[in-house]
């Protein structure tokens, strides 16, 4: 789509007039055509590099999107450059330097560099800031050279010969390839704005490369009328093809580049500005009512399908009252051990590569497992500690709970809304963090306390502060000990074990005890523990070092439990898993197997050791521990594990839920995934863009496939029913 040559060529020399004539023939500068072709090239690379379903209609929709969005973006560049052309050269440079600073700052913000300047990731944050500054400077330098002036109508860079410009174009192409590589291999699924910046940066780099060498890369020459007709036809074809063949759009959503283009098109077609469109798979069932959309909370019985799923939800009946607690003492003490960021494939009892003939990260836990019930396929209900632990303690999937709005600040403090408005200078909110520890559903601790057991908690949550007094987690515990505040404790797993042993010795033997112990050590960042085996310099090596250090604390803890002289049920699990990237490790940003699969071991006096293949969730600990202690409790999503733990039940089909989310400080969701799975398949709903994906759960790559929500299978129906019952949107309150 060409742009007319600028006026003012009279008075130039013959060479300059020739350049103007050549530029006019190409549509000076040919940003619109170059932008569309750059977008096509980027999407072609993605199609070649990414396996997955795609069909002819999907390819046609993608091609039309490239034409429309590429031409419009290129036209915007042309108009912007032309608008700055009359300004003095110093003013143009100032504008583009400011734009470069904005690009660098946005990139740094997208990677969370500013938020992490104060904390354990300061060194990495400084590196990110330096890299972002270089990117912003390069952008400013490039755009200054491309800016047309009265004396250089094509831009200052055209003073150089064709060979120099060709070298420059090759460098830009290599930069685009680097952006593509980083986008595909680093922080995949994380830092949405960072990946958006990589894609736009790569797109612009290829566009600029095409503009720089029109002689070597002849671009199509169309009249304005013909170009406009092509763009308009493409714009009409996109929604028409999407309505006829919705699978085409759904398959595009499975590739990052293609999904980005669909999101831009959906935003354009979102007429009521509620964040969802009726067309292009946006899922909005009432495009003119901003209160009705897939992100709205379903209100049962109001006669409106608020969230565009399964019609108006029916109100749920009230839960039955609790049965009276028995007067007889509990037959068992209970010790529940949760370990932060705990992956089963880094434990010898789950992975021979970590056993006696491998890394031997958990020799003590492996030995203890020989007398316990080991569940081979256990999953957490959430990808964050803040999601998983409230669910574990209540036996309910996360979205059934009542969530309170907290805000995490750059000082790693968790504050509620009144306090967040009075932050001191230099501290600000970096994300809204829902917590459910004030939820009114009865907890494991409250029911066991009601039953006559003493309840105690020993928790260490490092810098996260989500397990501290004041957020509600301490409710229902007679004694609640934080490792960070105990003056005699080391702030690591040894301190957690020491404080737990102190509590075990302090409670009289005549008093039945429920104790929860939360170890934080395997959580990032890696720390060095003298005397513990060092496996190497990598992130995974450091994680395995932390796992071994945790394992070293177990023998003393087992001995302290034995010294109480009471029959004790011990359950050990992880709150969630951990994902390893090239330069960082993290969790909670996706719903992958690495995020949500956890170890689960149960030691019950009289139970024979065995390995159980049944698919289970850590929320099953709630009914299981209640049953073992003969404590009445409410029905929930969890089930008693005793039939499988004792070998009296065969493996049976089961469907489970796991979720993860993350919010901006203003409450808008960055990530909100709900997964339903049965051990073979996993269906994931991304509530942010209302897209569905299906995965083979046992496939290491977890490549997505299309989900036909028009004819949902059993697993998709289970997921939709869960969303309908829980209202869909999280809706935390202040």
Q: What is the pTM of this model?
A: 0.88
Does the pLDDT of residue 8 top 80, yes or no? no
Tell me how crowded residue 288 is: count the other CB atoms within 10 A of its CB: 10
Q: Are residues 396 and 510 in the same domain?
A: yes
Q: What is the CATH number of the domain that holds 450?
A: 3.40.720.10
3-state DSSP call for residue 518?
Answer: strand
Q: Mean pLDDT over all residues of the chain? A: 88
Instruction: Give the Cα separation of 497 and 489 in Å (integer).
Output: 9
User: Region 151-162: what's the mean pLDDT?
Assistant: 84
Say if 524 falls within a structural domain. Answer: yes
Our CA angle for 326, 448, 344, nearest 5°, is 130
Say if 77 falls within a structural domain. Answer: no
User: Region 235-247: what's the mean pLDDT?
Assistant: 89
pLDDT in tens, 99-124: 999 988 888 887 777 777 776 677 77
pLDDT in tens, 313-331: 888 888 888 888 888 999 9
**Contacts of 164 by beta carbon, 8 Å cutoff, 6+ apart:** none
Asked if 637 and 390 touch (Cβ cutoff 8 Å), the reply is no
Write down the pLDDT at residue 228: 85
Q: Are residues 365 and 383 in the same domain?
A: yes
Q: How far is CA 341 from CA 335, 390, 650, in A?
A: 19, 16, 30
Q: Are residues 423 and 533 in the same domain?
A: no
Q: Are residues 528 and 608 in the same domain?
A: yes
- The residue among 573 and 166 whose pLDDT is bigger is 573
Write down the pLDDT at residue 224: 76
Q: Are residues 511 and 422 in the same domain?
A: no
pLDDT in tens, 406-425: 998 877 788 888 888 888 88
Q: Provide the percentage of residues in the chain whose pLDDT is more than 90.
A: 52
Asked if 387 and 660 touch (Cβ cutoff 8 Å), the reply is yes
Instruction: Give the Cα separation of 110 and 93 in Å (integer).
Output: 25
Say if 287 falls within a structural domain. Answer: no
Tell me how crowded residue 434 is: count the other CB atoms within 10 A of its CB: 23
DSSP codes, 232-280: HHHHHHHHHHHHH-HHHHHHHTTSHHHHHHHHHHHHHT-TT-SS--SST
Q: Are residues 418 and 442 in the same domain?
A: no
Q: How would you class 215 by CB atoms within 10 Å of its CB: exposed for 0-12, middle for 13-18, buried for 19 or more? A: exposed
**Contacts of 464 by beta carbon, 8 Å cutoff, 6+ apart:** 385, 412, 520, 523
Strands (E), 340-428: 373-379, 404-409, 414-415
Does the pLDDT of residue 3 top 60, yes or no? no
Structural domain that includes position 411? 402-435
Q: Are residues 395 and 408 in the same domain?
A: no
The last residue of a domain, from among 663, 698, 713: 663
Write down the pLDDT at residue 366: 97
Instruction: Give the Cα separation of 211 and 205 in Å (integer).
Output: 10
Give the dihedral sign, CA 412/418/423/429. positive
């Amino acid at each position: 789509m060409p742009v007319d040559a600028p006026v003012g060529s009279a008075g130039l020399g013959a060479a300059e007039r020739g350049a103007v004539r050549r530029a006019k023939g190409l549509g000076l500068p040919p940003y619109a055509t170059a932008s569309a072709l750059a977008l096509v090239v980027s999407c072609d690379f993605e199609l070649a590099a990414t396996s997955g379903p795609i069909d002819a209609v999907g390819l046609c929709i993608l091609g039309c999107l490239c034409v429309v969005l590429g031409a419009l973006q290129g036209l915007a560049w042309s108009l912007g450059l032309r608008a700055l052309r009359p300004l003095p050269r110093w003013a143009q440079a100032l504008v583009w330097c400011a734009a470069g600073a904005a690009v660098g700052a946005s990139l740094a913000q997208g990677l969370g560099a500013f938020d992490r300047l104060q904390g354990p990731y300061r060194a990495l944050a400084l590196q990110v800031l330096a890299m972002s500054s270089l990117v912003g400077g390069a952008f400013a330098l490039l755009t200054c050279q491309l800016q047309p002036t009265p004396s250089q109508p094509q831009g200052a860079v055209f003073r150089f010969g064709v060979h120099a410009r060709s070298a420059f174009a090759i460098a830009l192409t290599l930069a685009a390839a680097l952006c593509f590589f980083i986008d595909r291999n680093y922080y995949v699924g994380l830092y949405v704005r960072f990946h958006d910046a990589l894609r736009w940066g790569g797109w612009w780099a290829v566009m600029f490369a095409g503009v720089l060498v029109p002689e070597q890369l002849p671009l199509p020459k169309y009249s304005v009328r013909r170009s406009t007709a092509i763009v308009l036809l493409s714009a009409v074809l996109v929604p028409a093809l999407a309505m006829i063949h919705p699978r085409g759009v759904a398959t595009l959503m499975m590739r990052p580049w293609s999904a980005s283009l669909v999101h831009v098109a959906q935003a354009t077609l979102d007429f009521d500005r509620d964040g969802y469109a009726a067309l292009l798979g946006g899922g909005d069932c009432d495009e003119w009512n901003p209160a009705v959309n897939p992100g709205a909370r379903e209100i049962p019985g109001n006669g409106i399908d608020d969230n565009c799923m399964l019609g108006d939800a029916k109100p749920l009946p009230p839960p039955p009252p609790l049965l009276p607690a028995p007067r007889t003492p509990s037959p068992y003490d209970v010790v529940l051990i949760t370990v932060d960021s705990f992956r089963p494939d880094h434990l010898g009892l789950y992975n021979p590569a970590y056993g006696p003939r491998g890394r031997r990260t958990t020799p003590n836990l492996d030995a203890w497992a020989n007398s316990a019930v080991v569940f081979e396929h256990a999953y957490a209900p959430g990808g964050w500690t803040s999601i998983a632990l409230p669910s574990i303690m209540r036996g309910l999937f996360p979205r059934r709970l009542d969530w309170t709005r907290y805000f995490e600040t750059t000082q790693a403090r968790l504050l509620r809304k009144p306090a967040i408005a009075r932050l001191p200078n230099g501290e600000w909110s970096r994300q809204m963090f829902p917590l459910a520890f004030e939820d009114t559903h009865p907890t494991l601790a409250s029911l066991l306390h009601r039953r006559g057991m003493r309840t105690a908690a020993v928790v260490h949550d490092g810098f996260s502060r989500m397990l501290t007094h004041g957020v509600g987690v301490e409710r229902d515990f007679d004694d609640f000990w934080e490792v960070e505040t105990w003056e005699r404790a080391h702030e690591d797993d040894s301190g957690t074990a020491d404080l737990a042993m102190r509590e075990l010795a302090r409670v009289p033997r005549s008093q039945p005890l429920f104790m929860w112990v939360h170890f934080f050590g395997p959580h990032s960042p890696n720390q060095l523990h003298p005397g513990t085996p060092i496996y190497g310099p990598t992130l995974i090596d450091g994680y395995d070092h932390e796992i071994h250090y945790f394992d070293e604390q177990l023998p003393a803890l087992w001995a302290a439990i034995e010294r109480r002289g009471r029959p004790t049920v011990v359950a050990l699990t992880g709150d969630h898993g951990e994902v390893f990237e090239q330069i960082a490790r993290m969790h909670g940003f996706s719903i992958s197997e690495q995020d949500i699969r956890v170890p689960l071991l149960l030691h019950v006096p009289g139970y024979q050791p065995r390995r159980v293949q049944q698919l289970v969730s850590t929320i099953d600990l709630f009914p299981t521990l209640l049953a073992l202690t003969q404590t009445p409790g409410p029905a929930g999503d969890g089930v008693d594990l005793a039939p499988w733990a004792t070998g009296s039940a065969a493996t049976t089909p089961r469907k489970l839920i796991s979720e993860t989310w993350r919010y901006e400080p203003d409450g808008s969701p960055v990530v909100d995934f709900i997964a339903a799975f049965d051990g073979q398949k996993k269906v994931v709903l991304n509530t942010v863009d209302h897209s569905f994906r299906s995965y083979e759960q046992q496939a290491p790559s977890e490549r997505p496939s299309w989900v036909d929500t028009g004819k949902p299978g059993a697993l998709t129906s289970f997921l939709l029913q869960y969303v309908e019952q829980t209202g869909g949107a999280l809706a935390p309150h202040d």
